[in-house]
């Protein structure tokens, strides 16, 4: 059974992995706000347990068992966030810190009951996919709002940033998952987008915001 610290490392490694599945130790250290020697020492411990592949001066890679263990930690986190929102009435901006604590509980039946009570959700409150019981993740085919063109209609389906600050920003503009938006125009100079939603509400969204909003785009034809 992994310690809480080991679980945090596994989750960070999973989230930092590039397309080749590689992670630099320096990135890992920065993510977890620890020193390079501390990160290096923990990676060696994970290597002894068969959870990572690591050679000195080369990037780290999660093994198949490492990926599965990391995904199951993420499953507990995202199920908890969904439960807090759906069953306990928390706002989507309130749940991350609580889920960070709950994800370290080692009680599979607890999370399976949570999953059953919610009807087996496939995404968390921020639209991120929830791994299944085997640690498999169904990645969503979404695009950033910045890729949409004037005249197209989209549905806000997930977020690339679930920080409290960004969620509060979306709350202030009454934007939530499932919101349907119509792209009215796009500013060539700074690529900000004017959208319309909820009975003629119009809002100008900056390029920075649009990059963080993941949407399903429908043909305008």
Distance separating alpha carbons of residues 58 and 55, to the nearest angstrom: 5
Residue 197 lies in a domain: yes
pLDDT tens profile 150-203: 999 999 999 999 999 999 999 999 999 999 999 999 999 999 999 999 887 899
Total domains in the chain come to 2
Mark which of 46, 62, 78 sits at the end of a domain: 62
Alpha helices, H only, the chain = 4-16, 25-32, 36-48, 64-86, 96-102, 108-117, 164-172, 207-212
- Beta-carbon contacts of 28 under 8 Å, excluding residues fewer than 6 positions away, are 9, 12, 13, 16, 39, 43, 60
Whole-prediction pTM: 0.90
Tell me the pLDDT tens digit for each residue of 83-108. 999 999 999 999 999 999 999 999 99
The answer as to whether 81 is a domain residue is no
In this prediction, residues 204-213 reach a mean pLDDT of: 97
Which residues face 195 on adjacent strands? 183, 203
77, part of any domain: no
Please provide residue 119's backbone torsions phi and psi, each rounded to the nearest 5 degrees.
75, 30
CA-to-CA separations, 131 to 13, 76, 160, 219, in angstroms, rounded:
16, 9, 17, 30
The length of the chain, given as a count of residues: 221
pLDDT at 219 over 80: no
Can you give the pLDDT at residue 199?
A: 81
Report yes or no on 190 lying in a domain. Answer: yes
Is 52 among the domain residues? yes
Q: Tokens 């607890």 sit at which residue?
A: 110
* Residue 156 belongs to domain spanning: 143-218
């Amino acid at each position: 059974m992994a310690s809480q610290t080991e679980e945090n490392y596994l989750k960070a490694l999973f989230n930092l992995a590039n397309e080749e599945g590689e992670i630099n130790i320096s990135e890992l250290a920065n993510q977890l706000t620890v020193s390079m020697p501390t990160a290096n020492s923990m990676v060696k411990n994970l290597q002894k347990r068969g959870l990572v592949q690591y050679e000195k001066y080369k990037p780290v890679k999660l093994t198949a068992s490492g990926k599965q263990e990391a995904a199951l930690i993420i499953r507990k986190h995202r199920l908890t966030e969904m439960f807090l929102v759906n069953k306990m009435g928390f706002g989507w901006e309130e749940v991350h810190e609580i889920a960070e604590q709950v994800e370290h509980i080692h009680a599979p039946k607890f999370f399976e009951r949570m999953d059953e009570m919610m009807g087996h959700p496939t995404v968390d409150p921020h639209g991120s996919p929830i791994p299944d019981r085997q640690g498999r993740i169904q990645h969503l085919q979404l695009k950033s709002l910045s890729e949409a063109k004037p005249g197209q209609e989209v549905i806000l389906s997930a977020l690339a940033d679930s920080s409290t600050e960004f969620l509060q920003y979306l709350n202030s503009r009454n934007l939530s998952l499932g919101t349907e938006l119509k792209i009215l125009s796009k500013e060539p100079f700074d690529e900000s987008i004017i959208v319309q939603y909820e009975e003629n509400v119009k809002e100008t969204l900056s390029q920075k915001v649009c990059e963080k909003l993941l949407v399903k785009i429908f043909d305008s034809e």
